[in-house]
Amino acid sequence: MKLVFSKTNLAKAVGIVMKAVPAKTTMNILECILIDATTNEIKFTANDMELGIETIVEGEILEKGKVAIDAKIFSEIVRKLPDNEICIETDSNYTSLITCEKSKFNIAGKSGDDFSYLPIIEKDKFITLSQFTLRETINQTLFSIAMNDNNKMMTGELFEVANGILKVVGLDGHRIAIRNIELTSHADDVKVVVPGKTLSEISKILSTNAEDAVTIYFTNNHILFEFDNTTVVSRLIEGEYFRINQMLSSDYETKVTINKKEFLDSIDRATLLIKESEKKPIILSITDGSLEVHVNSSMGSLNEDIDINKDGKDIMIGFNPKFLIDALKVIDDEQIYIYLVNPKAPCFIKDKEESYIYLILPVNFTAE
C-alpha cells in the first residue's frame, strides 16, 4: 500500500476517527485505525464495538492495500509532521513508513483482517437537520444525564421524533433537560435512547456551520449519523425510556421573569462560599420585584438582590446551585421565566414556546 495525503486532510481525518478509539481495551486491534485503500477511495475506520466511525479521506492511491496502525502514535506523528505532503507506505509485514520532507518514521502495523468494520445499517427511517443544530442540542441537554451507570437508561438521551418535531431529553433523577427542534425536511417518527458517550463524541466532530446537514438513520438497535464524508454508527440503549410527560406540569403558583446573566453571575458568586463536602444549598427568596440569593456557610455569607417581575405568591426555595448554573449556561435568552409551585416541588425554566424546558428539583434547607 502506498498513499499520499496533504497534512491538513490527513490530520482532519485522523482527528475524526480518533473519537471512536477506546482509551483502554483488551483487544489490541481496537486501538488501531484501519486504513483501507483496497478500492478507489481511502477509508479510515475506528470502532470500539459500541461506537464506530468511518471517514473517506482525500488522497492519492499509488498502490492499493490496507493496514491497521496504532491510533495514538499515528495521530501524534501526523500532528507533529510539517505542513506538507505525507506519504504512507507499507511492506508485506505491515511495517509502515511515514515520510514527510526529511522525516522518516517507521512503525509497526497490523493486518487489517481482524478489524471489525461498521455494521451494515438499513437506511429506512431517517431525519435530516443542520449539524450546528444537532451539536447545540446535544450541548444544551447532555450535562443533565447521569455520569455513573447505576441506571443505564439515565446515561443516554431520548431522541423522539413525532409530527416533525425532534425531542431530545436527558435526565439524572434530580433534573430533566428537554429541547424540542422543529424539523423542516423529511422526518420519520422514532423513539430511541442514544448513549451519552456517542453524543459527546459526535458533538466534537460536527461542523459549526448551520448550512451543513447531517442525516440520522434509525433502526431498532443502531443509530447512524451521516455527514460530510463521515459515518458514525452507535448501538442504542435498549429498553423503554422514562415517562417524562407525567413529570411535566404547567400549573404554577409563582412565575418569575429575570435577567439570565444577572441570575447566573449571582449564583456563580454564591458557589464561592460552598465547599463540595458541605453540600450547602443556595436559598432564593422571591418577593414582589425582588429575588434574593442567599447562602450561609462555614466560610461566610452572601446576600444579593436581583430585580425581577413576579406573578403569584411569594416563595422561599433552596437549590443545588450547580443544577441552576448548568441550565442557565446553555440558555441563550436574555430574559428567562421560572415557574414554581412550592418549596418541595420541581421548578421549571422554560420559554413560552417550550423549545426548551429545564426541570430542577429543589433541596431542603433550614430557614434562619
Q: Footprint of its own copies on this chain (CB under 8 A)?
A: 70, 73, 76-77, 80-82, 102-108, 265-266, 268-269, 272-273, 299-306
Alpha helices in the chain, H assignment, sequence order: 7-17, 71-80, 131-139, 196-205, 260-270, 321-329
Q: Distance of alpha carbon 269 from its chain centroid, rounded? A: 27
C-beta of 49: minimal distance to its own copies in Å? Answer: 25
CB of 57 to its own copies, least distance (A): 21
Closest approach of Cβ 197 to its own copies, in Å?
A: 27
- Measured from the CB atom, the residue of 134 and 293 that comes closer to its own copies is 293
232/54 Cα distance (integer angstroms): 6
CA distances 347 to 187, 247, 256, 308, 313, Å, are 32, 11, 11, 16, 14
**Least distance in Å: CB of 267 to its own copies?**
11
Question: What angle, rounded to 10 degrees, do the helices at 7-17 and 71-80 form?
Answer: 150
Least Å from the CB of residue 97 to its own copies: 10
In the complex with its own copies, the residue whose CB is nearer, 81 or 327, is 81
Q: How far is the CB of 215 from its own copies (least distance, A)?
A: 37
Query: 211 vs 334, which CB is nearer to its own copies?
Result: 334
Q: At closest approach, how far in Å is the CB of 210 from its own copies?
A: 33
How far apart (Å, rounded) are the C-alpha atoms in residues 111 and 228? 28
The residue among 161 and 293 lying less far from its own copies, judged by its C-beta, is 293
- 347 by Cβ neighbours in 10 Å (0-12 / 13-18 / 19+) ranks as buried
Nearer to its own copies, 102 or 352 (CB): 102
CA distances 11 to 18, 67, 132, 271, Å, are 10, 17, 22, 41
Using the Cα atoms of residue 34, residue 39, residue 43 and residue 49 in order, give the sign of their dihedral: negative
Of the two residues 269 and 322, which places its CB atom closer to its own copies in the complex? Answer: 269
Q: Are 45 and 118 in contact (CB under 8 A)?
A: yes
* 69 class by beta-carbon count within 10 Å (0-12 exposed, 13-18 middle, 19+ buried): buried
* Distances from the Cα of 273 to the Cα of 165, 256, 295, 301, 355, angstroms: 42, 25, 7, 7, 34
Q: Which amino acid type is present at position 294?
A: H
CB nearer to its own copies: pick between 14 and 168? 14
Q: Which is nearer to its own copies, 200 or 271 (CB)?
A: 271
Q: How far apart are CA 239 and CA 11, in angstroms?
A: 38
CB of 325 to its own copies, least distance (A): 12
